[in-house]
Amino acid sequence: MLKNRRNWVVMAVLLSCALTPCFAQVQTPAPASGYNVQTWPTRKPVPALQLTDLSGKVWRLADLRGKVVLLNFWASWCEPCRAEMPSLQRLTDQHPQDLIVLAVNLKESTQTVQQFVQRTALTLPVLPDPQGVTARAWGVTVFPSTVLIDAQGKVRSVVQGELDWTGPDAKRLLQPLWPVHGGR
């Protein structure tokens, strides 16, 4: 009889937990925006960037002065990464002369990355980071993360999470990156 009572008590507790939050660790829902912005610390050094894209071209930050640069860290297994990629492509298409988006892929095989690029008709430069060395150097631990670099080569901020890069939120983030004469 005691065993049956214990089972009923356990069942009642489990049922009450299922119907109401009963754990001290209630997770806070993600912000409705889906992303957050962190300012790049003034004294934090800018890591070197030298990666080769899928077509064999070597990309260096120093070579991109005069253009706004977005370093987008992503992976094909990451749903938010896949979701924001078309807007990054559209942004690049809208600003072909003064913006570069470098899509740095985290730890996936070249074959996996190439299949993703072919399937999505992506034309922006995709740079494999097979060991994650570049992501670590830039302190990236959340995917997607996009590092915003102004036309003078100064890192301004890091956007963590998915963003529509052609929407109004992105426009507000990108506005300060353009040269004064560019007036976006």
**Does residue 13 lie in a domain region?**
no
Range of the domain at 94: 34-179
Average pLDDT of the residues of the chain: 85
**Does residue 63 lie in a domain region?**
yes
**84-118 per-position pLDDT tens digit:** 999 999 999 999 999 999 999 999 999 999 999 99
At residue 6, the pLDDT reads: 52
**Does residue 4 lie in a domain region?**
no
**Does residue 129 lie in a domain region?**
yes
Q: How many domains does the chain have?
A: 1
**Does residue 118 lie in a domain region?**
yes
Task: Reduce the secondary structure of the chain to three states and give it as a string.
Answer: CHHHHHHHHHHHHHHHHHHCCCCCCCCCCCCCCCEEEEECCCCCCCCCCEEECCCCCEEEHHHHCCCEEEEEEECCCCHHHHHHHHHHHHHHHHCCCCEEEEEEEECCCHHHHHHHHHHHCCCCCEEEECCCHHHHHCCCCCCCEEEEECCCCCEEEEEEECCCCCCHHHHHHHHHHCCHHHCC
This prediction has a pTM of 0.80
CATH number at residue 89: 3.40.30.10
**Does residue 143 lie in a domain region?**
yes
**23-63 per-position pLDDT tens digit:** 223 333 333 468 999 999 999 999 999 999 999 999 999 99
